[in-house]
Structure 1
Amino acid sequence: MGIQKVTIIQYRPEANGLCERANRKVLEALRKTVGGNDKNWDRYIDVVRYNINTMVCDSIKTSPFEALFGCQARGTFDLLTIPHHREDTIEALISTVKERHTCLNRNLMATTREMVERSNSRTSDVKIKVGEKVFLKINVRNELNYKLGPKFEGPFRVVEEKTGNGFIVLDEKTGRSKLTHINTEESWLW
């Protein structure tokens, strides 16, 4: 099936972009639907879910509902006015679903290639090796004088590389180690 397990570093939502993008989409839709009545937001979950699942997705060029079930979703008005009967044979339905899945896969692969190219054009590879010394970014917004305070702490020695751009770094003064992400590191060769 092509499923690959990927672990991400905890407390780093940007490491799981697909999930964060989906959450943002749900929150934006809820915010628009609720319209300031945030005490009863849970009443609107089904409406938001239906709307998100029936909107055409740019990456697959169809709605998630249609991609999954092979037909367009029927709304309330459709249920009242359009009779529900299909005259297609099972073989015809299976053939249609296979054709749709092939088309969806092709659209998704093209979108993925575009996204990877766009991402690669905006980034540069940072190579940090085991044994190098690095400084870690400090979350300065939590401190009173964050504009004038230091933005990095360290140095730390990189002792192990983890998956997903994670590293174990060692504070040589205290002997404590911690897991960090490449986005929080500034490499300095010593």
Structure 2
Amino acid sequence: TIWVIFTRLTKSAIFTPIRKTDPMDKLARIYLKEVVTRHGIPVSIISDRDLRFASNFWRSPQNALGTRLDMSIAYHPETDGQSERTIQNLEDMLRACAIYFGKGWVNHLPLVEFLYNNSYYATIKAVPFEALYGRKCRSPVCWTEVGEAHILGPELIQETTEKIVQIKQRMQAARDRQKSYADLKRKPMEFQDGDKVMLKVSPWKGVVHFEKRGKLNPRYVSPFKVLERIRDVAYKLDLLKELSRVHNTFHVSNLK
């Protein structure tokens, strides 16, 4: 699996391969190496509800360092407005690399991270790399112009350039597709305390499925009673006892 880490100010990202079984102490070392050494100690961190990030082992040092920890809303990974789209783009780019260039996705991850951080984003009107470091990044596409192809070899230059072009195309296609889908599906919904709502079964990465697994299961379950509105886009539900281990706050996009 991939640990995706964002900087909210510059939109720069770090894509780190990990295993789902990796203990928290290993993730803490990765955090120090990939985040603290590059950016310093964060003021706040928004993370998903993985038990490792909710543990005292993770919370205690963050509290000592003065970092505020916030958890994302259950089954809504786009809580910070950025994660969901980027993760889908990441999967699409890695899938394209594996199809066109072979080998495992881990081999392509550094180049995908490089391309992500050197693509223009309208929200900051800049490239994340330039926003982070205050200068333009020298791209492998320009190696032939400065004579480095003679040092690195024409095969490496050609292979890297082909990958960059392919990944850029897939990234743009994914952005266009997701924007069209979001524009089509986005609609305001409001509920009152006491209303009964249907809850969408989360397909997100297979992390949580209600009842039986399978593609033919109902997309929505129950209805459940609305207990409380949380901020503008989330609601707390009165879940069944058998779902007591499930966090009972959900984004409005998962309700109807």
Q: What is the TM-score when the length of structure 1 is the normalising length?
A: 0.52
For residue 45 of structure 1, the aligned residue among 109, 121, 130 is 109
Q: Distance in 2 between matches of 1:150 and 1:67?
A: 41
- Relative to structure 1, is the Cα distance of residues 75 and 133 closer, same or farther in structure 2, using a 3 angstrom cutoff? closer
State the identity %: 20
Contact 2:227 2:235 in 1 (8 A): no
Greater shift in the superposed pair: 11-20 or 39-48 = 11-20
AA paired with 1:157? Answer: K
The Cα shift of 1:18 comes to 1.0
Answering whether residue 125 of structure 2 is matched by residue 57 of structure 1, we say no
Aligned residues: 142
For residue 11 of structure 1, the aligned residue among 75, 81, 94 is 75
- Secondary structure of 1:136's counterpart equals strand
The Cα shift of 1:165 comes to 0.7
AA paired with 1:159? Answer: L
Answering whether residue 198 of structure 2 is matched by residue 136 of structure 1, we say yes
CA RMSD after TM alignment: 4.2
Answering whether residue 94 of structure 2 is matched by residue 30 of structure 1, we say yes
CA deviations on 1:53-104 (whole Å, 9 max, x unpaired) are: 122223333321111112110135189559xxxxxxxxxxxxxxxxxxxxxx
CA deviations on 1:132-183 (whole Å, 9 max, x unpaired) are: 141323649957975xx795524x4333443451313155xx7987714234
Q: Distance in 2 between matches of 1:23 and 1:42?
A: 15
For residue 236 of structure 2, the aligned residue among 156, 163, 167 is 167
- Where does residue 190 of structure 2 map in the other structure? 126
AA paired with 2:196? Answer: V
Q: Distance in 2 between matches of 1:43 and 1:150?
A: 35
Q: Distance in 1 between matches of 2:96 and 2:243?
A: 47
Contact 1:159 1:169 in 2 (8 A): yes
- Relative to structure 1, is the Cα distance of residues 50 and 162 closer, same or farther in structure 2, using a 3 angstrom cutoff? same
Contact 2:74 2:249 in 1 (8 A): no
Q: What is the TM-score when the length of structure 2 is the normalising length?
A: 0.41
Answering whether residue 67 of structure 2 is matched by residue 67 of structure 1, we say no
Contact 1:158 1:170 in 2 (8 A): no
